[in-house]
Structure 1
Amino acid sequence: MAEIQAASAPRSGKPRATKKAFRLDMTPMVDLAFLLLTFFMLTTTFSKPTVMEVAMPTKPEPQEPDASVSAKRALTLILGENGKVRYFFGLNEAAVNPAAPKPTLYTTDLSPNGLRQVLLSRQRQSPAPIVLIKTEAGAKYQHLVDALDEMNITDQKKYALVEMNRSDEELLKSRRW
């Protein structure tokens, strides 16, 4: 049992009235604190992490024809440093066909007035666009998460994470500003 004892004062020559030591039993208070702590720990619900489900495609069968992306339906996003998003409509076919014209490269950011407006306007132009998301070397993981959030906000049905190819890197080098 816990108790608090007062220290006795040194005695002088004068007789004084004896004081009885105050005794406070702390056991019930400690018991109550632990009971409350246990109760609240057992009855709380911890926050569940929020995750976004990403549907991964299955490996195609060898006899299936290759389902390529139509250039008319494609929108290619390239995520860069500092939240910059460079995009172009269609595909960059310079790797396949060197005589193909280079696409026009536009720049925006990840704000609601930036990428979201681009995606919404593309949805209005084409009923089912396919968004190809690529990342530069300086892009951060948070930029990719923000871009995927914009895909969910704008209700994009088809989008894919694609690796940068040499023709995309050459396009970016030729259009640096």
Structure 2
Amino acid sequence: MENLPKKIRSKKLNTRVDLTAMVSVSFLLIIFFMVTIELAKPKVVDLSLPQKYSDEDWNGVITCGVGMSDRIITVLLDENDKIILYDGLLGVESENPKEIKYGKKGIRQELFKKNKTILEYSAKFGRANRGAIVIIKPGKKSNFKNLVDILDEMAIAKIDTYAIVNDFTPEESNLLAAK
């Protein structure tokens, strides 16, 4: 009996799972989702536009210093790369509208000049860094290239406050039809 082989018992292995990699992946996923949620939030830009007034509201209005209408430049876009530019509010207290071309000697030079004048005028009244407000109004016959070109001109001329508006006043519609 001594020579009988001993029963070989199998070794019980420790069944332990290492979760370090799982924890690392879960933290990465949490960070990823937090970042994507933050980037998906809509960004809000403050935009100061003039209020819409009726003709009765303008009777007796006195502007002191640099008012909103003193800073407004309106750009009307029409077919065949035509741009009509005027200051102020058309029909109330505006400079005569003029037709202008794209490029360095056209709209860019005009925007630089007007923005510089407005900034200097604003600084006199203690309202530094209040430049021009440009309202861009693309006509029904203008093309997308013209809109992109005028947005490029805003960036080049360093005009920070501008808006693209689609509604035309009757005076502006008549102006586009006449020129």
TM-score range, shorter chain: 0.5 to 0.7
Structure-1 separation of matches of 2:137 and 2:44 = 16
Q: 1:67 to 1:161 in 2, by over 3 A?
A: closer
Matches within 5 A, 1:99-118: 100=92, 103-118=95-110
- 1:165 is matched with 168
Aligned residue in 1 for 2:33: none
Deviations 1:5-62 (A, max 9, x none): xxxxxxxxxxxxxxxxxxxxxxxxxxxxxxxxxxxxxxxxxxxxxxxxxx7647x9xx
Deviation at 1:67, TM superposition (A): 5.7
CA distance 1:123–1:166, shift in 2 (3 Å): closer
The answer (yes or no) to whether the contact 2:78–2:176 under 8 Å persists in 1 is no
Aligned to 1:124: 116
Does residue 152 (structure 1) correspond to residue 155 (structure 2)? The answer is yes
Check whether the contact 1:135–1:164 (CA below 8 A) recurs between aligned residues: no
- After superposition, residues 1-177 of structure 1 pair within 5 angstroms as 57=45, 68=50, 70-92=68-90, 94=91, 100=92, 103-127=95-119, 128-167=131-170, 168-173=172-177, 176-177=178-179
1:105/1:56 Cα in 2 relative to 1: closer, same or farther (>3 Å)? Answer: farther
Determine what percentage of the aligned residue pairs are the same residue: 27
Pair 126,101 (structure 1): closer, same or farther in 2 beyond 3 Å: closer
- 1:81-112 alpha-carbon deviations (Å, 9 max, x no partner): 111110100122x5xxxxx4675110111122
Offset of residue 162 of structure 1: 1.0
Please give the secondary structure, in 2, of the residue aligned with 1:126.
helix
Over the aligned positions, Cα root-mean-square deviation in angstroms equals: 2.5
CA distance in 2 between partners of 1:105 and 1:147 (Å): 17
- TM-fit CA distance, 1:146: 0.3
Counterpart-to-counterpart distance in 1, 2:76 and 2:133? 14
- Number of aligned residues: 109
Partners of 1:102 and 1:171 within 8 A in 2:
no
Extract unaligned runs of 5+ from structure 2: 1-42, 52-67, 120-130
TM (norm. structure 2) is 0.54
TM-score by length of 1: 0.55
Residue in structure 1 matched with residue 27 of structure 2 by the alignment = none
Q: Which residue of 2 aligns with 1:6?
A: none
CA distance in 2, matches of 1:88, 1:161: 15
Structure number having the greater helix percentage:
2
